[in-house]
Amino acid sequence: MKNIILVLVIMISTTATSIAKDTLVIAHRGASGYIPEHTIAAKAMAYAMGVDYIEQDVVMTKDDHLVVLHDHYLDRVTDVQEKYPERLREDGRYYVIDFTLAEIRTLAVSERYRLDRRGNKIPVFEDRFPLDKSTFKVHTLAEEIELIQGLNKSTGGDIGIYPEAKSPAFHLEAGKDLSRAILQTLKDYGYDSKDAKAYYQTFEIEELKRVHEEVLPALEMNVKLVQLMGGGGDYYSDLITAEGLEELSKYADGIGPSMGMIIPNDAEAGALKMSGLVANAQAVGMEVHPYTFRQESFATPPYAKSYEDLLEIFVNQVGVDGVFTDFPDRTMKFLGR
């Protein structure tokens, strides 16, 4: 019975249905298809596209400041190698927790890159913003919230925030309670109930439980909670059964699965099958916000003819409640908004 949800498959109709305009558009790391991820410029651009939520991945510095970066390393989106070569750890990485906020503010942020064998920077997305142009910096969670709240005031908008605690167990081991610091910041800025325009998200199962059972009560606040899931292995295998999802729904408001957990990446166009994950999660009252919708052909599953076809499948046929996207404008246009 344990893995029944993975065995259960439901054929998806290939007939187009009406467009679900109320599907939430979540700007994944900002308008990151156009400007380097998690920069203030990417967040402002996403805001101007009229999305529902803007995502923040959050990690902590040596001196306990919250900064908006995709993970707890600095070496794939900054020039840390050039500025602080002596800070390299034995595993070949540069860790955010080895740097103060003042030091991190000296770094230049660029498009995401990988290093080739000679140490040259190769952009992960070659058609996106050039690696070495313009000037971008790392900012704090509070600074980003102030940008979004400031724009809400000046435009009359009501765009929400969607922070993710990145590697909270790693931070706890280093004596830093990342989730508590994020949630305290949310409370400081008025996001303190389920009605607030904010979701807290994390991939770590035990951490989401701890947030629900200990951190939120200690801070005398509440906020919508999302359990992220993805990757290989069997870490989520108990959680994604119908029974596991029912248990999860007692404290989580939604799930954020990879697209592949809903429709296998090797599915055939015209004969799509999906797992029971969406139906089972929605049946117990949880929202489903899959990731990550990207227009690049190598990032689009082979069963989808185009970015819009991918949206058509997930929004109209599967019926997800929201999407994390690097291309908010194309998603808004698809939804007719």
Active site residues: 28, 70
Residue 213 tokens read as 């059972």
Amino acid at 300: T
**Pairing of β 224-229 and β 254-257:** parallel
Residues 6+ apart with CB under 8 A from 120: none
Say how far apart CA 149 and CA 225 lie, in whole Å. 21
Q: Taking the complex as a whole, how short is the minimal distance between the CB of residue 156 and ligand G3P, in angstroms?
A: 28
Q: Is-cis flag, bond preceding 292, omega within 30?
A: yes
**Contact pick of 36, 163, 256, 328 for ligand G3P (by CB under 6 A):** 256
Of 53-112, binders to ligand G3P (CB under 6 A) are 55, 57
Of 3-32, binders to ligand G3P (CB under 6 A) are 28
CB atoms within 10 A of CB 146: 13
Say how far apart CA 315 and CA 311 lie, in whole Å. 5
Q: Does 164 bind Ca ion (CB under 5 A)?
A: yes
Q: Taking the complex as a whole, how short is the minimal distance between the CB of residue 231 and ligand G3P, in angstroms?
A: 9
**Contact pick of 99, 291, 303, 314 for ligand G3P (by CB under 6 A):** 291
Chain residue at closest Cβ approach to ligand G3P? 291
Q: Taking the complex as a whole, how short is the minimal distance between the CB of residue 73 and ligand G3P, in angstroms?
A: 13
Chain residue at closest Cβ approach to Ca ion? 164
Q: How many residues bind ligand G3P (CB under 6 A)?
A: 10
Say how far apart CA 79 and CA 212 lie, in whole Å. 37
Of 178-237, binders to ligand G3P (CB under 6 A) are 201, 228
Q: Does 164 bind ligand G3P (CB under 6 A)?
A: yes
Say how far apart CA 295 and CA 306 lie, in whole Å. 8
Residue 118 burial (10 A CB sphere; 0-12, 13-18, 19+)? exposed
Q: Taking the complex as a whole, how short is the minimal distance between the CB of residue 128 and ligand G3P, in angstroms?
A: 15
Q: How many residues bind Ca ion (CB under 5 A)?
A: 2
**Footprint on this chain of ligand G3P (rule: CB under 6 A):** 28, 55, 57, 164, 201, 228, 256, 291-292, 324
**Footprint on this chain of Ca ion (rule: CB under 5 A):** 57, 164
